[in-house]
């Protein structure tokens, strides 16, 4: 239970940070592009904020997926680097291969 709580906390913190960085980058790039198009006469100057909001909503699913992938990758990478995964494997009596097989089986059974 302690490991699951620590993993959940680490994943949520990393996912939040990754999403914040990715979202700010995408919004900034979109804002620059929309301001360029507004200067060219494509958009009205009063609707810049609405266009930025709609464009960011369009990019939201891809950003969430990428943030979750980065969170899992960064968290597990840090656990391997800090040798915390060996503690997990020794506490459960599982090898890395059987642990991966067990998690894959649990994931597929949830679908």
pLDDT in tens, 31-64: 999 999 999 888 888 888 898 889 899 999 999 9
21: number of Cβ within 10 Å? 12
pTM: predicted TM-score of the whole model, two decimal places: 0.72
Q: Which residue has the higher pLDDT, 111 or 58?
A: 58
Contacts of 59 (CB under 8 A, 6+ apart): 26, 30
CA distance 73 to 50: 34
């Amino acid at each position: 239970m302690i490991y699951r709580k620590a993993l959940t906390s680490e994943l949520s913190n990393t996912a939040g940070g990754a999403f914040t960085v990715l979202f700010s980058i995408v919004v900034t790039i979109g804002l620059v592009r929309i301001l360029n198009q507004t200067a060219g006469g494509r958009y009205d100057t009063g609707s810049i904020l609405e266009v930025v909001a709609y464009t960011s909503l369009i990019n939201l699913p891809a950003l969430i997926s990428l943030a979750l992938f980065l969170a899992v990758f960064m968290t597990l990478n840090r656990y391997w680097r800090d040798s915390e995964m060996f503690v997990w494997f020794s506490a459960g009596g599982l090898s890395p291969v059987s642990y991966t097989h067990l998690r894959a089986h649990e994931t597929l059974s949830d679908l």
